[in-house]
Amino acid sequence: MLIRPLGDKALRVEVGERIDEATQARVQAACAAIEAASLPGVRELVPAYTTITVHYDPAAIAHAGAPSDDLAGWLGMRLEQVVKSAAKVKTTKPRIVEIPVCYGGEFGLDLARVAARAKLSPEAVVQRHVKGDYRVALVGFAPGFPYLIGLPKELATPRHAKPRIVVPAGSVGIAGEQTGIYPFATPGGWNLIGRTAVPLFDPLAEPPAHLQTGDRVKFRAITADEFAKREAAR
């Protein structure tokens, strides 16, 4: 484990070096432990593939008794103790969230591209994508935008050199070995293979993002008719 400053209002806690399940599990456990410890001055945590960014308030840390010439060291030491004993903290079982997706056609403009690169039929690509066992490693770059690990390796496809000006909301895409879903229409360079009608972000909901780091995700293929019904029901 490595704890280093990130400017004067955050620390980075690194618990691994690779994007894989084992590291993700450590990130989740460390995050849960830090939250449970309710350390003074810690404002929020941002878990990612291999790290947790701990945002803190220097004034609150000083107020809690830290030496004013080493606020970061004081907090860092406490974080280290908390994370080291993370194994003893009971983590909740990850949720399994099902995301129904209508693959191909107008919703999957890059399905053929992914298939050609994998030397598979488009149907086979869909079958393998659906079979994947995914975990949300990161939510970022846009509110509610989930980065999933667990994409079958043969489906990995590099992103477009020139991003599309608009990627429709709900689009399911592949970029390299990552798969993700666009919560809003934004520019984007991911390979689009399908679309979901499930809203991924609602600022009035608590929590506002549908998917959270640590969640397991299963994709389920649906027909265009079912997609239309779900869209209408929103």
Partner 1 sequence: MITVLKPGLLTSVMDLGRPGYQRHGVVVGGALDRFAARVANTIVGNDENAALLEMAQLGPELRFEVPTVVAWCGGGFEPRVGGEALPRDRAVRVAAGEVLWFGPARSGLRAWLAIAGGIDVPLVLGSRSTYRRAGFGGFHGRTLQAGDQLRLGEMSEVAQQRLTMAHRASTWSVRPDTLGKPAAAGTVRAMVGPEWEWFTLAAQQAFFSAEWTVTKDADRMGVRLAGPELPLVKEREMISEGVNEGIVQVPAGGAPIVLLASRQTVGGYPRLAAVAAVDLGRLAQLAPRQTVRFETISLGTAHALYLARERDLTRVRLGLSRLGV
DSSP codes, 91-153: PPPPPEEEEEEEESGGG-TTHHHHHHHHTS-HHHHHHHHHH--EEEEEE-SSTT-EEEE---G
Q: Are 38 and 59 in contact (CB under 8 A)?
A: no
What is the smallest separation between the CB atom of 187 and partner 1, expressed in angstroms?
Answer: 11
- Chain residues in the site for partner 1 (CB under 8 A): 4-10, 12, 19, 43-53, 55, 58-59, 62, 68-72, 138-145, 147, 183-184, 201, 203-204, 207-209, 212-213
Closer by beta carbon to partner 1, 27 or else 114: 27
What is the smallest separation between the CB atom of 143 and partner 1, expressed in angstroms?
Answer: 5
Closer by beta carbon to partner 1, 111 or else 211: 211
Closer by beta carbon to partner 1, 83 or else 138: 138
Closer by beta carbon to partner 1, 53 or else 127: 53
What is the smallest separation between the CB atom of 176 and partner 1, expressed in angstroms?
Answer: 10
Q: Residue 167 CB: number of other CB atoms within 10 A?
A: 20
Q: What's the token pair of residue 27? A: 């990130």
What is the smallest separation between the CB atom of 138 and partner 1, expressed in angstroms?
Answer: 6
List Cβ neighbours of 18 (8 Å cut-off, separation of 6 or more): 50
